């Protein structure tokens, strides 16, 4: 197939030679893909592109369907790998050096501060974007068959993203790092029976010290990125195997009526497509709904990548990543606040460590993972909020949660168990606090909606919206309404916020 | 694979099952060894028996807060008591006890800056999320007349080291 492509008019000889010579051919085999055959071939012959299909469904390219959140998450991960690898050249995970290495990166190393800023803001952005991506997948019912297991992998990736943040913020060895890990590892000791073992395993001892620092470092730079890369590989591969991105079922057309007519005469099928029999790609996708992935998908991805890097660079240039005082094991800062994405959790932990640190997170993760196996009805797949009814239920679930959370917070301030009965037994504190009460209310509310509408999807929409809204409110409370000793304050009284 | 499972003799199926079970059991050893490897046998994290100043340095009614050693020493007219300064909720260091000098332990208050647990001078939880009270430790005297707190030995909050 190797033939010299004819020189295009208006293009210099040198440019042609640069694009098409013996060495370039040895790398890319074919010339620049300027015809449909080469555009399809490049998706098979290029290692980095072969995860993409040769042709993409137009629905998958709609910005208002995906908002590009999955691909943005991937690009943020790539930026984090790059900046993280560079930072490793200057950072030594030793309690005696870690903090001064951070100061060197800020004030001594050329572009050190920019790289650290990029790494920090990309990490924050990834926590937010991965979460938004999960919301998109949920509200478009994309977790339904055949994508149930890919949703489970997505939940694991979300957990891994949070673990990456958690392990990463011990490394600067500043006050935030030290006390956040002291608190976080203590939360890990609350599950019955295994708790203390988990804590010892995390810290490599009984206090946050050198053993903990090296463990968190190894997790942050080797173990977790490795796990994430494997999970991401499976996540992307399964998108292909499960029939591409989710979309609404195609309207029944004449072509889809007869058995043989399910195959389009205008499309060439590969052996694997036929060997597996009925695949989602075969019977729902008509050729006229597809575009060539080169250039339509590839160049959109490129634009998104450039956009991500541009926004991050601008933010990293104007805003410095915070670095608090050197870790002081004698005095926690007051208030001692976790980063914003854990503040909601910290607020619930302040009611009861068992409820906030174990029961609520476990219920949320188990609930998320089991949703596709409970809500099996294929209704509404590929449509935001499923239907007008779904839209209304989502909206009203969000609206209804706000007063409930605020009233519970007020009750907890004035009539908490230990205010009514000083010295009350811990079991009452663990049972009667806003965290556990909300779980019961949320379960009851979503089951009621499921029964009332007869649709598990409507129940799921309500449940997800309850959790989402309450977590956002608790994050805001932790961020703006908590001061010294975690006492209630108003935002204009804020002291010691970082 | 030429013969399907159905066509195999029960004996062959049993042997195959035995093979699988042995294989899985043989995996257990290395996995457990690797998990055990991660639990340290020796940690170098400072002393658990803390030697403080000589007895007479602490006047009656004084409460001394040792942030670095993470303990609080009470000198009362009955003798010495010592409790941990680590909050039993999530291990933040509590703030020093507040109260008039020589005040009864019931009136003393200490708070945790992380999640707002409140304790009295007997270590009892008065408010906040702490699941239990502050631990009190055995106080003794060293041969050279200094106060010694043994953080490995938990005692009742009312127990004093009498002079």
* Contact assessment for residue B98 and residue B110, using Cβ atoms and an 8 Å cutoff: yes
Mean pLDDT of A317-328: 91
pLDDT 10s digits, B62-88: 899 998 889 999 998 889 999 999 999
Mean pLDDT of chain A: 87
Query: Closest Cα of chain A to B130: distance in Å?
Result: 8
pLDDT 10s digits, A445-460: 999 999 999 999 999 9
Give the count of beta carbons closer than 10 Å to the beta carbon of residue A347. Answer: 26
pLDDT 10s digits, B124-139: 988 888 888 999 999 9
Instruction: Enumerate chain A positions whose Cβ falls within 8 A of a Cβ in B.
Output: 179, 182-183, 186-187, 197, 200-201, 204-207, 209, 211, 329-336, 346, 349-354, 416, 418-419, 422-423, 426, 429-430, 484-487
pLDDT at A262 over 60: no
Residues of chain A positioned with their CB less than 8 A from the CB of B38: 201, 204
- Cβ contacts below 8 Å, chain A against chain B, sum to 92
Widest CA span of chain B, in angstroms?
A: 90
pLDDT of residue A108: 95
pLDDT tier, B2 (very low <50, low <70, confident <90, very high otherwise): low
* Interface test with chain A among B106, B109, B113, by most A beta carbons within 10 Å: B113
Nearest chain B residue (CA) to A197 = B39
**Residue with token string 């943005």:** A72
In angstroms, rounded to a whole number, what is the distance separating the alpha carbons of residues A152 and A298? 27
In angstroms, rounded to a whole number, what is the distance separating the alpha carbons of residues A104 and A120? 16
pLDDT tier, A270 (very low <50, low <70, confident <90, very high otherwise): low
Q: What's the complex ipTM?
A: 0.86
Which residues on adjacent β-strands are paired with residue B141? B147
Residues of chain B positioned with their CB less than 8 A from the CB of A418: 125-128
pLDDT tier, A400 (very low <50, low <70, confident <90, very high otherwise): very high
pLDDT of residue A252: 60
Is B128–A350 a contact, with Cβ atoms under 8 angstroms apart? Answer: yes
Nearest chain A residue (CA) to B40 = A204
* Token representation of residue B13: 């199926």
Angle made by CA atoms B40, B43, B49, in degrees to the nearest 5: 140
What would you report as the CA-atom Rg of chain B, rounded to the nearest whole angstrom? 28
Mapped to the 3 state alphabet, what secondary structure does A115-160 carry? HHHHHHHHHHHHHHHHHHHHHHHHHCCCCCCCCHHHHHHHHHHHHH
Residues of chain B positioned with their CB less than 8 A from the CB of A330: 67-68, 70, 93
pLDDT tier, A354 (very low <50, low <70, confident <90, very high otherwise): confident
pLDDT 10s digits, A126-171: 999 999 999 999 999 999 988 999 999 999 999 999 999 999 989 9
pLDDT at B33 over 90: yes
Which residues on adjacent β-strands are paired with residue B28? none
């Amino acid at each position: 197939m190797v033939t010299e492509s004819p020189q295009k008019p208006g293009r210099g000889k040198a440019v042609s030679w640069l694009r098409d010579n013996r060495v370039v051919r040895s790398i890319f085999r074919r010339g620049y893909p300027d015809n449909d055959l080469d555009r399809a071939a490049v998706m098979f012959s290029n290692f980095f592109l072969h995860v993409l299909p040769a042709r993409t469904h137009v629905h998958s390219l709609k910005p208002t369907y995906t908002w590009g959140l999955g691909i943005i998450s991937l690009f943020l991960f790539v930026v984090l790998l790059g900046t993280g690898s560079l930072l490793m050249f200057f950072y030594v995970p030793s309690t005696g050096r870690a903090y001064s290495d951070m100061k060197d990166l800020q004030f001594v190393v050329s572009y050190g501060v920019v790289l650290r800023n990029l790494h920090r803001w990309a990490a924050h952005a990834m926590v937010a974007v991965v979460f938004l991506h999960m919301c998109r997948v949920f509200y478009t019912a994309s977790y339904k068959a055949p994508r149930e297991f890919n949703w489970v992998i997505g939940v694991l990736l979300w957990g891994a993203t949070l673990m990456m943040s958690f392990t990463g913020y011990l490394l600067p060895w500043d006050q935030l790092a030290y006390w956040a890990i002291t608190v976080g590892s203590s939360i890990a000791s609350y599950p019955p029976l295994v708790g203390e073992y988990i804590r010892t395993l995390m810290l490599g001892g009984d206090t946050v010290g050198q053993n903990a620092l090296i463990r968190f470092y190894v997790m942050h730079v080797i173990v977790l990125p490795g796990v994430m890369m494997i999970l991401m590989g499976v996540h992307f591969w399964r998108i292909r195997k499960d029939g591409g991105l989710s979309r609404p079922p195609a309207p029944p057309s004449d072509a889809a009526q007869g058995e043989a007519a399910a195959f389009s005469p205008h499309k060439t099928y590969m052996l694997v497509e036929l060997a597996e029999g009925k695949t989602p790609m075969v019977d729902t996708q008509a050729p006229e709904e597809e575009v060539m992935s080169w250039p339509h998908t590839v160049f959109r991805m490129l634009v998104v990548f450039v956009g991500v890097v541009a926004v991050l660079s601008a933010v990293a240039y104007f805003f410095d990543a915070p670095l608090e005082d050197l870790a002081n094991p004698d005095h926690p800062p007051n208030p001692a606040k976790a980063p914003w994405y854990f503040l909601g959790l910290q607020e619930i932990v302040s009611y009861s460590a068992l409820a906030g640190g174990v029961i609520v997170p476990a219920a949320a993760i188990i609930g998320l993972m089991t949703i596709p196996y409970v809500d099996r009805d294929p209704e509404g797949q590929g449509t935001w909020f499923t239907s007008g009814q779904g839209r209304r239920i989502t909206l009203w679930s969000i609206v209804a949660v706000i007063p409930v959370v605020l009233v519970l917070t007020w009750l907890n301030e004035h009539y908490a168990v230990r205010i009514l009965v000083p010295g009350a037994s811990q079991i009452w504190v663990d049972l009667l606090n806003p965290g556990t009460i909300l779980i019961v209310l949320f379960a009851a509310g979503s089951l009621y909606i499921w029964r009332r509408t007869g649709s598990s999807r409507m129940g799921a929409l309500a449940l997800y919206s309850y959790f989402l809204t309450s977590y956002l409110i608790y994050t805001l409370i932790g961020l703006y309404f908590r001061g010294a000793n975690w006492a209630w304050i108003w935002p204009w009284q804020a002291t010691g916020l970082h | 694979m030429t013969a399907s499972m159905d066509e195999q003799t029960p004996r062959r199926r049993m042997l195959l099952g035995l093979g699988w079970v042995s294989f899985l059991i043989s995996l257990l050893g290395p996995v457990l060894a690797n998990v055990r490897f991660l639990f340290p046998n020796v940690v170098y994290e400072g002393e658990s028996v803390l030697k403080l100043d000589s007895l007479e340095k602490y006047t009656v009614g004084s409460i001394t807060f040792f942030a670095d050693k993470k303990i609080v020493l009470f000198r009362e007219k009955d003798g010495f008591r010592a409790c941990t300064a680590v909050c039993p909720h999530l291990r933040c260091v509590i703030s020093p006890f507040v109260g008039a000098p020589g005040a009864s332990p019931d009136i003393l208050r200490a708070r945790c800056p992380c999640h707002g647990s409140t304790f009295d001078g007997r270590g009892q939880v008065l408010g906040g999320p702490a699941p239990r009270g502050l631990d009190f430790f055995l106080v003794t005297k060293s041969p050279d007349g200094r106060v010694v707190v043994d953080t490995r030995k938990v005692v009742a909050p009312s127990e004093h080291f009498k002079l």
